[in-house]
Amino acid sequence: MPVADYNNRMPNNLPDYLTAEQRAIITAPCEHAVITAVAGSGKTSTLAWRIRYLLQQGHDPTRMVILMFNRSARADFGRKLQDVTRDTGLSLPEVRTYHAMGLRLYRRFIREGYLPAFSEAILSEQEISYQVWQLTRRLAPDDLADDIRRNKKDYVETAVSFIEDDPALADYRAAWLAGYRSVRPFSQQDEVMLPVLVMLRRLQLTAWLASHSETATARRYSPQWGAITVRLAQAFLLQASPLSATVNCKEPADEQ
């Protein structure tokens, strides 16, 4: 729809600094949309005003959730949303990180008896990186050994992502578990959750690729990424069908 058409129905309480394109996004119909933009282009402001606009149109904030990659981004956006909605009296939707949302769902599935309880005594990021580093050195071809030693950080970061559809993933997981258990106990109950964590990471990467479409990594993976993700999600749901049965249930009022 042309920007001019949006201007005809534009609410007159939007700030002047918003561009015509931002205003079109803010007042777009309530349907699926993917918005991509470079750093510093005003994505945070646009999203905050979009949420205010939807709330003013009567949308229920308890039916919304805003997900951020990390706590810092969550805190920054929370402050921005508070600023944008100050003095409106609007009830605001939740702002969570992907990890917090995953943990919330996991605990709910435990509470409802779909999953066994788990131990929260997990490895630190440093311990995880060390185990990934050891696993990478063990599995990598000999002709890459020198390059891996020179570029440890790059290989460690790559090793923990973008491998969800690798046919050898089961072998990687078994080797990772062996390395983990050589440092600290890892229960069978915790092992049950590994496929859930893999899917959560996959969803994070999907969002990252969409917001970094100009990068070489996104151009490399994006063409087949969506189809592979759908296939992985279908396989995951078939493996964990009791989980899918609770997805549309109403959240208990006392959950935070």
pLDDT given at position 141: 66
Pairing of strands 94-97, 65-68: parallel
pLDDT given at position 46: 94
Per-residue pLDDT tens digits for 80-139: 999 999 989 999 999 999 888 888 888 888 888 888 877 666 667 677 777 777 777 777
Q: Where are the beta strands (DSSP E) in the chain?
A: 65-68, 94-97
166 vs 159, higher pLDDT: 166
Interval 145-171 mean pLDDT: 69
Number of Cα atoms under 13 Å in the Cβ half of residue 91: 8
Q: Which residues pair with 94 in a beta bridge?
A: 65
**With contact defined as beta carbons under 8 Å apart, do 218 and 209 qualify?**
yes
Residue type, 109: F
| 3-state SS, residue 65 | strand
**With contact defined as beta carbons under 8 Å apart, do 56 and 90 qualify?**
yes
pLDDT given at position 119: 67
Measured in degrees and rounded to the nearest 5, phi and psi for residue 67 equal -110, 135
Rounded Cα gap, residues 93 and 164, in angstroms: 32
User: pLDDT category, 30, cuts 50, 70, 90?
Assistant: confident
pLDDT given at position 240: 62
Residue type, 216: A
100 vs 154, higher pLDDT: 100
Note the pTM of the prediction, 2 decimals. 0.48
pLDDT > 70: what percent of the chain? 79
User: pLDDT category, 255, cuts 50, 70, 90?
Assistant: very low
pLDDT > 90: what percent of the chain? 22
Q: Among 27-36, 64-73, 143-152, 154-163, whose mean pLDDT is lowest?
A: 154-163
Per-residue pLDDT tens digits for 224-244: 888 888 988 888 888 765 444
